[in-house]
Amino acid sequence: MIATEKIIYLDNNATTPIDPAVLEAMRPFLEEYFANPSSGYQFATRVRNAVEQAREQVAALLGCEPGEIVFTSCGTESNNTAFHSALETRPECKHVVTTAVEHSAVRKPAQELEQHGYKVTVIGVDNSGRLSLRALADAICADTALISVMWANNETGVIFPIEEIAEVARDKNVPLHTDAVQVAGKIPINLRELPLQFLSISGHKLHAPKGVGALYVNRRSRFRPLLVGGSHENNRRAGTENAASIVGLGKAAEIALAKLPDEQTRVRNLRDRFEKMLLERIAAARVNGIGAPRLANTSSVMFDEIESEAALMMLDQENICCSAGSACRTGSLHPSHVLSAMGLVNEQARGSLRFSFGRFSTEAEVDRALFVVPRVIEKLRALSPATAG
């Protein structure tokens, strides 16, 4: 067994550790207050109130009304719910617009729609991962039921200009969904000033547990639930609430909001130092998405003449956790669709590693990574057929 204190965890875009304060907030609802929040007796009131407090905490992080928050089981469910609702409430429209760099939790639902007779327009990105607003606007037509554009990319950290995208969507009168799973708690969000209909977040990306998420549904939007059954979540998501995890998400949102400005500066400094020194120590390396606005915590770096899967294994031996492309692709030899969309050829995409920092990342961990990663790259290059030739 590996002692977790030895682990250098640089994979915070895959998931984050639970904040101890989040665990403490959850504990009473795991140990003592187990009542079903829908029950009528007083014992359940405490649970119901805690769920409503969490709704207020999440709403505060997103700058919206508590009534606009629907708790779900994960970011994937939030994304699927947004698709389902938009398409069910506009049954006459058979067209969806999305981008080439979405997480599979949007890509796959969009691909499924194609099999059901929908037309899906996929907007490409440039070499820095930037989206063309013109291409987006041109893709929208009278038949468009939904635009789904992520706010920030999980692999590169590239941030899309969601304010401008929302203006385009509003001008064309088409509902907009944004997958903000990588954004919540990392950059300020004020939905009162952002004209969009749906926004997805996931607990485990902001130091809450896995298996809880939320969907923002603009109060003026028409809505159709994905899960039907009981009248939970004001008839918007059937299923007994995962009260302890919802309480955890609320606490995590409260902490993220309180720490946001300072923490983002601290994490950006760590990330920038890591990137600068890594590029100084390793020749023929380049940051994917450089030049575009990026999340402060994410560094996707392309190294010539290496296979990232081999690098991951060697870094794992040194207890360093990072990832090749998105977490879901780890172990697969396909180049990342995000990096391919940015124009990287297969070898370049497969030579890329993603390091993602978080609230619990330290200077000492960055130092250790800066010591180990260059050695691993050097070893792999010495073994590479290109160098041997």
Ligand X SMILES: Cc1ncc(COP(=O)(O)O)c(C=O)c1O
**CA-angle at 254, arms to 220 and 185, nearest 5°:** 75
Instruction: Find out whether 120 and 96 touch, Cβ atoms under 8 Å.
Output: yes
Nearer to ligand X, 185 or 374 (CB): 185
Token pair recorded at residue 266: 């601290």
Nearer to ligand X, 202 or 348 (CB): 202
- Region binding ligand X by CB under 6 A among candidate stretches 31-39, 86-94, 177-185, 277-285: 177-185
Nearer to ligand X, 85 or 202 (CB): 202
In the window 224-263, what residues touch ligand X (CB under 6 A)?
none
Half-sphere exposure of 24 (CA within 13 A, CB side): 4
The residue type found at 127 is: N
Report which residue's Cβ sits closest to ligand X.
75
CA-to-CA separations, 302 to 25, 40, 44, 156, 274, in angstroms, rounded = 40, 57, 53, 11, 14
Contact pick of 202, 288, 300, 352 for ligand X (by CB under 6 A): 202
Round to whole Å and give the CA distance between 200 and 181: 6
In the window 311-340, what residues touch ligand X (CB under 6 A)?
327
The residue type found at 143 is: D
Contact pick of 8, 70, 75, 125 for ligand X (by CB under 6 A): 75
Give all strands of the β-sheet with 213-217 in edge-to-edge order. Answer: 69-72, 213-217, 198-202, 176-179, 144-148, 95-99, 119-123
Nearer to ligand X, 154 or 300 (CB): 154
CB of 299 to ligand X, least distance (A): 16
Of the candidates 64, 74, 321, 328, the residue annotated as catalytic is 328
What number of chain residues touch ligand X (CB under 6 A)?
A: 14
Any contact of residue 182 with ligand X (CB under 6 A)? yes
Round to whole Å and give the CA distance between 270 and 187: 17
Nearer to ligand X, 75 or 374 (CB): 75
Q: What's the CA dihedral at 251, 256, 262, 264 to 10 degrees?
A: 150
CB of 334 to ligand X, least distance (A): 17
- Region binding ligand X by CB under 6 A among candidate stretches 68-76, 267-275, 368-376, 379-387: 68-76
- 64 is an active site residue: no
Round to whole Å and give the CA distance between 295 and 308: 22
- Region binding ligand X by CB under 6 A among candidate stretches 26-34, 57-65, 174-182, 279-287: 174-182
CB of 376 to ligand X, least distance (A): 24
**Binding string to ligand X for residues 79 to 118, with x set by CB under 6 A, is what?**
------------------------x-x-------------
Contacts of 9 (CB under 8 A, 6+ apart): 17, 321, 358, 360, 361, 365
Any contact of residue 179 with ligand X (CB under 6 A)? yes
Question: Which residues make beta-bridge pairs with 98?
Answer: 122, 148
Catalytic residue numbers, as ranges: 328
Interface residues toward ligand X, by CB under 6 A: 74-76, 103, 105, 150, 154, 179, 181-182, 202, 204, 213, 327
